[in-house]
Homo-oligomer: A and B are copies of this chain.
Amino acid sequence: MEEKDISRAVIKRLPRYYRYLGELMEDGVERISSNELSGRMKVTASQIRQDLNNFGGFGQQGYGYNVKYLHSEIAKILGLDRTHNMIIVGAGNLGQALANYTQFEKQGFKIVGIFDVNPVMRGVSVRGIEIRMIDELPEFVKNNHVEIATLTLPKAKALDMAKLLVDVGVKAIWNFAHTDLNLFMPDDVIVENVHLSESLMRLSYNLSRFEKDHLQE
C-alpha cells in the first residue's frame, strides 16, 4: 500500500468501518458495495467511497469491496495487526470491569497486568490476572514489553501515576481519570481520554434541548 497522509476526520471514522466490516465477516458476507454499506451505516455512499479511496483502489466497479481485505487493511492502519501489551492501573470497579472485558484481547490489546496502591488488593486475581502493587510496576513494564497503561484511578492520583508510567517506559495512556492528562505529558506520549461524565452531559444537553423544543410546539 502506498504511504499517504490520511485526514484526522477519516481516521476518526475508521474504527466504525472496521466494526461494520467485522460484523459483515461474522455474517459471512464476502463483498459489499458502497451503496449497501451506506444503507447499513447511514453514511452516504459517496462519503464511503471517498473515505475508502484513501487506502488505494480495492473497491471495484460492479464488484464492490472485498470485506475481508478491507477489514485487514484498516486493521493495519489502526495498528491492530499486532498485539499490544497493556496494564490496568487502578483495580477499582472500573479497572476490574475493563480487565474482565475480553473483547479488547480479541482486538490485540492483551491485558498482562493489573496494579493498585491499596495493599488489600495484593494477590487478588481478576480473570486470572493477579493484582500487583505499584512498587513492582517499573520492572514489570520492562520485562513484559508494556506499551499501554489504562488509568482507572481517581483524578487526584492520576497525574503522578501517569508521570511514573512514562518514566518507566509506557508509551500510551488510556485515561479514564477526569483530567486532561495530555496537557501534562511529553509530546511523544499518546494519551486517549475517556471522559464518561462529559458523555453523560452531552446526553443531558440533548435531552433538555428536546424537551424545550417539544414544549414550544
| Chain A residues proximal to chain B, CB less than 8 Å | 11-12, 14-16, 18-19, 41-42, 77-80, 84, 92-94, 96-98, 100-101, 103-104, 107-109, 147-148, 171-172, 174, 178, 180, 183, 188, 190, 192, 194-208, 210, 214
Nearest Cβ distance between residue A86 and chain B, in whole angstroms?
9
**How many copies of the chain does the oligomer comprise?**
2
- Cα separation A15 to B18 with both chains bound (whole Å): 29
A107–B198 alpha-carbon span in the complex (Å): 11
In the complex, what's the smallest C-beta–C-beta distance from A195 to chain B, in angstroms?
Answer: 7
11 contacts between A and B (CB under 8 A): A11-B205, A14-B205, A19-B198, A79-B204, A79-B208, A93-B100, A108-B204, A109-B204, A190-B203, A192-B200, A194-B196
A197-B79 contact in complex given A190-B207, A206-B192, A207-B147, C-beta closer than 8 Å:
no
Partner of A207, one of B84, B104, B197: B84
B183, A200: Cβ atoms closer than 8 Å: no
Chain B residues whose CB sits within 8 angstroms of the CB of A172 once the complex forms: 203, 206-207
Most chain B beta-carbon neighbours within 10 Å: one of A77, A188, A207: A207
A38 nearest CB across to chain B (Å): 12
A172 to B204, CA, bound (A): 8
Q: How far is the CA of A188 from the CA of B188 in the complex (A)?
A: 43
